[in-house]
Structure 1
Amino acid sequence: MVNIFKKVDDSKQFETDPLLKSKEEKQPYWKKPWFTLFIVILVIAITTAVIVYIFYHKDNSSNTINFYESEANAVKFKATTSTRNPIYFEVKSAHPTSRVSSIATTNEDYFKQCAPVVTCNPDDKYRTFNGSCNNLQHPSWGAALTPFYRLMNAEFDDGNYTFRVQLDGKPLPSARQVGLKLFYIRDNRNFDHDNNELLVPWGQFLTHDISFYPDDIRNTSTPANLDHCFEKDKTKIPIECETAIFITADDPVYSQYNVSLFKFVRSMPSVNFSCPLTPRTILNRNTQYIDGSHVYGSDKEIADGLRTFENGKLKSRILKNEEYCPQNPDSEFKDGPLGKSNIQFAAGDKNVNQNLAIALFQNLFLRYHNHLADEIQTLNPSWSDERIYQETRRIVGAIIQVITYEHFLPIILGDEYMKEYGLTGQTIYDPSINSALSQEMTSGAFRAVHNIIPAKFNFISANYSIVDEVEPSRVLLKPDLLIGNFDNMLRGFLETPGRAVQPSYNNLITNVVFKIPNLDTYSGFDLMSYDIQRGRDNGLPPYNKMRYLCGLNKAYTFNDLSDLISLEDIETLKSLYSTVHDIDYLVGALLEKPRNGSMVGPSTACVIGDSFYRFKAGDRFFYDILGQPGSFTTAQIKVLKKITLSHVMCTSSNLSQIQKETFRFVDHKWMSSIKYNCKSYKLDLSPWKDFSS
């Protein structure tokens, strides 16, 4: 056998060697001229790169060190709660299994100090009303009156309570000024020719299922006498002045009404619930699962108050030959500043009367619940009221999940983000995942979708003519407008193209969203200013930190944002903020260019995707999870997956036809989406037949 590793004696001459070899050819390569030239060029290139880098970043070096030192501290993961968060995915699959730990602060202090002791029955088939006992290892996770989850450390100037300031110590720019300079002049009336207006009310209806933190919109919409905020030589600045949104004298809208600031009411902190947590912690008063709690209530007392206790039905009343939610005599909005409304609905959501779209969907699902209860009672006549009610409630919660994940989210996020964040395919329950709603989601990412709120809502009759056009201010706190207009409003949402995605809110909600009728001295309120200020109120991290959290490149200068934000917008940002590290999260999120097929940019998709992954993977009762006491059968899941919002609308209204893809706009000229007769929408409840009785 030949030893191929045998050392060759280079001193011997072989017959195959050239007869003549120059001494130069025998020199080592590092002594050859070409190698010397290569080294010289390499040294020059490296030196030049270092000089350019230092010059380019010299103005931001000190800020960057502090910024990313704090970021590194945030990365430390508290093993005591081991709440996993799929913010990054190393494996792009329908069910990400390789995830890095979240850059997260957990709410372990609450669960140690304030959470009540909960005893759970692991064999319960149905959810509790307050969301407790969903996670048997952590019974309070996702329950009502527990804190919002945080993806990152809270950002307050004093570490606990006061609004964040800029890195140079200056206050953040007025939220109104930010909106004016960046977004006010950009409002255009372009339409979304693929989707209709229904995306907006469904998004808000869904939001009310998973979140509610008290803040009284009456206080923000009522003219407030805050002249004392301009008094000089104060020894202490009143809290209402610290949080007020200041308006410049040259404001194109509010200056003509002599409005110099908006009153802003902060979210109610945990201390109001006898839980003094720091930094400032906000408790979510709703369950933090997609479970229909806004229909049924987030505690047993509210839920019982909405029931008839007969045949599983909810209370209702008949007005103009149609079924509506019962009257709420104690509604806080009945004598609101936007006008008196004698109709005040009662539902699981305290804000059912806040705007007409929410009231529409609450009444829609009230009707649908009672329809399903009748069907189930007919199918299983021996079942008790309690069993019919609980099974119907279980089905309605599942249908809301199906509509959200199968039809709504694919439009908002797009197919690529849906796959990237594990929002497609069979759900596998993971008890280590906390499904609680993140503060960055409710105060930031989901508010970015306010950019598709339309300027007007149409009421459309059965012959498809517009019978009324209402501005946003007219649908607030006026639920009486729904009586007799239920079907017309449904058609209006279905038959009107949505607002095209753009980095702005429409001018009617930035200037007159809470306008009081017939009051010349006041011109409403700015929803964009409110949203920006709410992020500061709740201690959201700035945009640059959220970029980094979502796997985007760290921005060291404003120009580093050019990968997602236009150069024109970057110049405006420079005029508003001291450094790139000061930009509000919502502001950056609105300016990002959406990915093709998506309505949102990457830092918004990241937070939305993370939240909805946790809503499903961390929910033991999610509709397609198998092997749990509350799991549906495979036959039942098959039926649920076929249900669309179109089916719910056909069942619960007098519509005669509707498109199958409910959120898609039907261009009648081009028949962009086919309509179906409502009689063709059938629900097969045979898998719910109980043969044991």
Structure 2
Amino acid sequence: MKGFLCLIGALYLCSHSHVDAETHLSRRAIEKAVEEAKATVDSAYEYSRKQSIERVRTNAAKPSDVLRLLKQPVGPTRLAVRAADYMDNTIKLIKTSLVARQKRSINATDLISAEDLQLISDLTGCSAHQRPASCKTVSNLERFRTASSICNNRKNSRRGSSNTPFTRWLPAEYQDEISLPKGWDLKLKINKQLLPLVRQVSNHILSTKNSDVESDPLYTHLVTIFGQWTDHDLTFTPHSPVIRSFSNGIDCDKTCERTEPCFPIAIPTNDIRFVEHSEKCIPFFRSTAACGSGQTGHMFGASTVRQQMNTLTSFIDSGQVYGSDDTKAQFLRDLTNDKGLLRVNTAYTDNGRELLPFTNMGANMCATRARITNDISLKEVPCFLAGDERSNENIGLSSLHTLFMREHNRLARALAKLNPHWNGERLYQEARKIMGAYFQVITYRDYLFHIVGPDVIAKQLSTYPGYDEDVDPSISNVFATAAYRFAHLMVQPFMFRLNETYEEHPEYPSPLLHKAFFTPWRILFEGGLDPILRGLVGRRAKLNTQEHMMHDELRERLFEFSKELALDLASLNMQRGRDHGLPGYNEWRKFCGLSQPKNERQLKRVLNNKELAKSLLKLYKTPSNIDVWVGGVAEPFVKGGRVGPLFACLVATQFQRIRQGDRLWWENEGVFNEDQRESLKQTSLSRIICDNTGITKVPDKPFQFKSKDSYTECEKIPAFDLSPWKEEIE
């Protein structure tokens, strides 16, 4: 650092008479700054990688390690994140030098010339991740999606594609107006009031014992896990890859200090965790910044505030099955033959049916069997590999991943019989295209109706309006970070497993949720997919009520595999919203055209609950400061839905834009022919379950809870008609 400062002092050229003029740096000075920044970043990355792998390898991983490994950027995303870190640290080095010379606080990017900023961007690799992609060399652009959804929009080739920033529907509210989270300084007031600790809010507003959980009278647990499934098709926000501060080398796991990227969750002194474990904070890592945001944003014509990256595409395209970049997509394919199939497990089957392949990652987060069963003699297995990195998060989600991998392979084999002249690439792409359409139909026809209710569907999501290339389908930050996390309050404390008659499985009882995290071995050695899928369609979802919001499995035992302090999902959600600079509850109510309560009386009217309004204001003092996630989940449901008016608005608005901004939406003219569209209209999630498992009887509408006496025999559920895909050879 000292050498670089000397170099800057000797080589920077200044043609200004006041501090607002541009500063021009020599190429050598810039190169030196980039070299030093790269060395700092690479060192932090390598330290973090070794620490994480060692902890997992020796079974010493903490819950925070598991979360961090789960949210690590990989493949092209990791390259983009590293480039952003290179550039950000280069700017900070130069800023430090310029501040020292000017002897006053300045915004360095206001002084560095545009030419120098561009050079820094080029040298750090940021430019490559911002440059519009050329669509001229992309084959079959009119027929099939690219893995990353590059060129879905022909006018703006990166719009909606993976590894681009979340969009903002309202301006970010950072503490420093650029990048520091809300609440970074615990003593800084917002709207003339201090923000409460998120763990305080979790304890006083959301706390629910497992035994107090109420079950949903209408909907099955599949609604909950399908919500997670669709979320994992649309949003993934990577954490910073480092576990120690760039500026001072502090390990985030070993401190409660707030230093980038450490943003620990403080634990109140009267909290049971503080009293019994003497823990002062829960480790928390900031989401990584996107290239071209924060300190460097304006050079790309973007806002100078920090933006977070979405590693997934913004479209419903079954990316969680196939991956969202070309490298991952190729890796998931079975290229040992020309049949268009996805890879499967070569070591195990599920009663002869296919299972997901294993990962070859160095750190095995799924080596949980001995710890959970207290039997060190049992065999450990690796995690499953799927299109999304979170496929092992719980066995319900793992089961859906497995089910839909099987459905792709079933479709590819059926299409091969129908069109024996098709090669493997054509079979793969056609099956993938059908799968994407499946989930577009199921999500909009079946699932969203139960979430936002019929009135909102009629207003925003009824008849398809057609494709509009000017509609931006990009996922909004508030959707990913708050609104679409509503289903966290619909998760049951058990992952149910049922036998052939839909009773509790006698041999494989339903495990508590914290004993179903990262446990692919439960699928391999404890009865396979069928008991879990029966549990999803044959048991009720948890009902989110204002008295019983989030149970202990998620609030006190998240990723608990040992005696280490577990995570708290409610606190994580609120802290993540502050990390991303999300505006408060009233700003989003205003965005949706809803009233903005100013006092307890008005808040009571919005929530229809005097005690809840009083409890929230005791913590926040003003409704405007309420974290949008907790405010949203506290609202009473809209008619026929499972979210309140605010989240109904935000969720519906997002899905409205996803559909209208998708050039390859299944109903758009030319994507499928008329006969194919008629066939897709008959898509049945029940039929997919029947075709790919040993289950013989299912509810015909698996999102709706019904008595098992009313279930339908699989043989009576119409098969999906593939005949419109038969291609006549001329």
What SS does structure 1 have at the residue aligned with 2:496? strand
Partner of 2:554: 509
Out of 130, 138, 146, which is 2:164 matched to? Answer: 146
Q: 1:336 to 1:549 in 2, by over 3 A?
A: farther
Aligned mates of 1:610, 1:284 — CA distance in 2:
18
Instruction: State the distance in 1 between where 2:305 and 2:535 align.
Output: 45
| Cα shift readout 1:637-682 (whole Å, capped 9, x = no counterpart) | 11111112111111111100111101111224xx5x5423345331
Alpha-carbon shift at residue 171 of structure 1 (Å): 4.3
Is 1:480 the counterpart of 2:480? The answer is no
Instruction: Output the amino acid matched with 2:161.
Output: A
2:679 is paired with a residue of what secondary structure?
Answer: helix
Structure 1 stretch displaced more, 409-418 or 166-175: 166-175
Map of 2:68 onto structure 1? none
Cα distance in 2 for residues equivalent to 1:433 and 1:331: 42
- Code of the residue aligned with 2:567 in structure 1: it is F
Whole-Å Cα distance in 2 between the matches of residues 352 and 593 of structure 1?
31
1:486 partner letter: L
TM-score by length of 2: 0.73
Q: CA deviation at 1:561?
A: 2.1
2: distance between equivalents of 1:116 and 1:329? 33
For residues 729 and 518 of structure 2, the distance between their equivalents in structure 1, rounded to whole angstroms, comes to 48
**Whole-Å Cα distance in 2 between the matches of residues 572 and 447 of structure 1?**
22
In structure 1, what is the equivalent of residue 264 of structure 2?
244
Q: Which amino acid aligns with 1:614?
A: R
Tell me if 1:183 matches 2:206. yes
The 1:514–1:216 alpha-carbon spacing in structure 2 relative to 1, beyond 3 Å, is farther
2:598 matched residue in structure 1 = 556
**CA–CA distance in structure 2, aligned partners of residues 331 and 352 of structure 1:** 17
Is 2:327 the counterpart of 1:285?
no
Equivalent residue number for residue 512 of structure 2: 471
Partner of 1:77 in structure 2?
none
One-letter amino acid matched to 1:389: Y
Q: Which amino acid aligns with 1:546?
A: W
1:118 and 2:158 aligned: no
More helix by share: 2
The 2-side partners of 1:123 and 1:456 are apart by 44
Alignment partners' CA distance in 1, 2:381 and 2:632:
40
Partners of 1:568 and 1:159 in 2: CA distance: 34
**Aligned with residue 327 of structure 1, among 346, 358, 362:** 358
Per the alignment, residue 163 of structure 1 pairs with: 181
Q: Contact 1:543–1:581 at 8 Å: present in 2 too?
A: yes
Q: 1:255 aligns to what?
A: 275
8 Å CA contact 1:645, 1:662 repeated in 2:
yes
From the superposition, tell whether residues 336 and 156 of structure 1 become closer, same or farther in structure 2 (CA, over 3 Å). farther
Change (3 A) 1:332 1:214: farther
Equivalent position to 2:435, from 396, 403, 422: 396
Q: What is the CA-CA distance between 1:132 and the residue it aligns to?
A: 0.9
Q: Which residue of 1 aligns with 2:694?
A: 654
The corresponding residue for 1:438 is: 476
Q: Does 1:461 find its partner at 2:491?
A: no
Q: Measure the CA separation in 1 of the matches of 2:208 and 2:496.
A: 25
Do the aligned partners of 1:333 and 1:477 also contact (CA within 8 Å) in 2? no
RMSD: 2.7
Counterpart CA distance in 1 for 2:658 and 2:320 is: 16
1:83 maps to what in 2?
A: none
- Given the alignment of the two structures, is residue 303 of structure 1 paired with residue 329 of structure 2, yes or no? yes
Letter of the 1:447 partner, please give it: R
Residue 489 of structure 2 aligns with which residue?
451
State the partner residue of 2:415: 376
Match of 2:71 in 1: none
The 3 A distance-change label for structure 1 pair 370 and 596 is same
Provide closer, same or farther for how the CA distance between residues 337 and 151 of structure 1 changes in structure 2, counting only shifts above 3 A.
Answer: farther
Distance 2:280 2:712 in 1: 51
Give, in whole Å, the separation in 2 of the partners of 1:201 and 1:563.
32
The amino acid that maps onto 2:660 is A
For residues 259 and 153 of structure 2, the distance between their equivalents in structure 1, rounded to whole angstroms, comes to: 43
- Deviation per CA, 1:223-269: give whole Å up to 9, x if none: x9867538xxxxxx53466x211112321455322222101111111
Aligned residue type for 1:211: T
Distance 1:560 1:443, change over 3 A: same
Task: Work out whether residues 253 and 511 of structure 1, in 8 Å CA contact, stay in contact via their aligned partners in 2.
Answer: no
C-alpha distance in 2 between matches for 1:469 and 1:116? 50
Q: TM-score, normalised by structure 1?
A: 0.77
Question: What amino acid does structure 2 have at the position aligned with 1:437?
Answer: I
CA displacement 1:512-561 (0-9 Å, x = unmatched): 122124x2xx3522110111111111111100000000111233334322
Identity of matched residues, %: 28
Consecutive unaligned residues of structure 1, counting only runs of 5 or more, are: 1-108, 231-236
> How many Å separate the matches in 2 of 1:267 and 1:253?
25
- CA distance in 1 between partners of 2:416 and 2:326 (Å): 23
Is residue 213 of structure 1 aligned with residue 229 of structure 2? Answer: no
Contact 1:334 / 1:342 at 8 angstroms: preserved in 2? no
Question: Which deviations, in whole Å up to 9, do the C-alpha atoms of 1:558-595 show, x marking residues without a partner?
Answer: 43223321221121122111322211101111111112
In structure 2, the residue matched to 1:294 is 320
Q: Which amino acid aligns with 2:204?
A: K
Match of 2:463 in 1: 425
Q: Which is higher, the Rg of structure 1 or of structure 2?
A: 1
Task: Classify 1:621/1:226 alpha carbon distance in 2 versus 1 (closer, same or farther; 3 Å).
Answer: closer
Q: 1:617 aligns with which of 655, 660, 663?
A: 660
Instruction: Describe the shift of the 1:681–1:258 C-alpha distance in structure 2 as closer, same or farther (beyond 3 A).
Output: farther
1:365, distance to aligned residue in structure 2 (A): 0.8
Distance 1:633 1:500 in 2: 41
Kindly indicate whether the alpha-carbon contact (under 8 Å) linking 2:169 and 2:476 is maintained by their aligned counterparts in 1.
Answer: yes
The within-5 A match list for 1:11-90 is none
Which residue in the other structure is 2:631 paired with?
Answer: 588
Distance 1:185 1:384, change over 3 A: closer
Match of 1:681 in 2: 718
Structure 1 residue 170 displacement after superposition: 5.3
- 222, 229, 245: which is aligned to 2:256? 229
Equivalent pair of 2:202/2:570 in contact (CA under 8 Å): yes
Cα distance between partner residues in 2 of 1:535 and 1:197: 26
2:294 and 2:197 mapped to 1: Cα distance? 33
1:275 offset after TM fit, Å? 9.6
Distance 1:319 1:186, change over 3 A: closer
Equivalent position amino acid for 1:505 in 2: M
What displacement does 1:327 show?
Answer: 1.8
User: Per the alignment, do residues 589 and 457 of structure 1 end up closer, same or farther by CA in structure 2, a change over 3 Å counting?
Assistant: same
Name the aligned partner's letter for residue 598 of structure 2. Answer: Y
| Equivalent position SS for 2:633 | helix
Residue 360, structure 1, aligned to residue 380, structure 2: no
C-alpha distance in 2 between matches for 1:642 and 1:275: 50
Letter in 2 for 1:606: C
Q: CA deviation at 1:403?
A: 1.1
Gaps of 5+ in 2: 1-120, 184-188, 245-250, 298-303, 372-378
SS at match of 1:498: strand
